[in-house]
């Protein structure tokens, strides 16, 4: 069993808030991240897959194919976008880094399996001081 990780990046706007609450309450719960005018980040996404090395290529997986899947399913939809309003698989969800990780896992899991590998971890770095990791249930 070996693990390979691909990094991709996306620059996006978002806002943390609960639609049932007013701005003041959202400010109390979510702090400056609740700014109704949005803010944004340079997100780094690390996708780790695991499996056996193919004895005919020395690869666990073709990294170019992995990159293509991540871009098609995830970063093409998130890059230079507003995470709260225009990403199909995030509609109606919080855009916390925790929820982003789980949502991206759900988009990638089956695709990775079709490549003959298993999704192991989705990690997102929001700033240089915090990151979230999800390994499935």
By beta-carbon proximity to its own copies, the closer residue of 111 and 121 is: 121
User: Among the options 80, 98, 109, 133, which is catalytic?
Assistant: 80
Q: Least distance from C-beta 114 to its own copies, angstroms?
A: 19
106 noted as active-site residue: no
The pair of structure tokens assigned to 34 is 């609740």
Q: Clarify whether 80 is annotated catalytic.
A: yes
Cα dihedral sign, 17-12-6-119: positive
CA distances to 4, 18, 28 from 106, rounded to whole Å, are: 19, 22, 31
Q: How far apart are the first and last CA of the chain?
A: 20
Selection from 22, 54, 55 nearest residue 36 by Cα: 22
Residues that bind its own copies (CB under 8 A): 1-9, 11-14, 16, 18, 29-33, 35, 37-42, 48, 53, 56-60, 63-64, 79-82, 85-86, 93-99, 101-102, 127-135, 137
CB of 59 to its own copies, least distance (A): 6
* Residues paired with residue 46 on neighbouring β-strands, in sequence order: 7, 123
Residue 125 CB, nearest approach to its own copies (Å)? 9
């Amino acid at each position: 069993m070996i693990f390979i990780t691909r990094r991709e990046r996306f620059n996006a706007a978002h806002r943390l808030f609960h639609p049932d609450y007013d701005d003041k309450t959202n400010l109390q719960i979510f702090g400056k991240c609740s700014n109704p005018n949005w803010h944004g980040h340079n997100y780094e996404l690390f996708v780790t897959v695991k499996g056996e090395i193919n004895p005919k290529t020395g690869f666990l997986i073709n990294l170019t194919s992995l990159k293509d899947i991540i871009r098609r399913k995830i970063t093409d939809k998130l890059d230079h976008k507003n995470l709260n309003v225009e990403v199909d698989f995030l509609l109606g969800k919080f855009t916390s880094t925790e929820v982003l990780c789980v949502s991206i896992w759900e988009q990638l899991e089956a695709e990775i399996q079709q490549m003959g590998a298993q999704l192991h971890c989705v990690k997102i770095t929001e700033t240089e001081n915090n990151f979230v990791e999800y390994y499935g249930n």
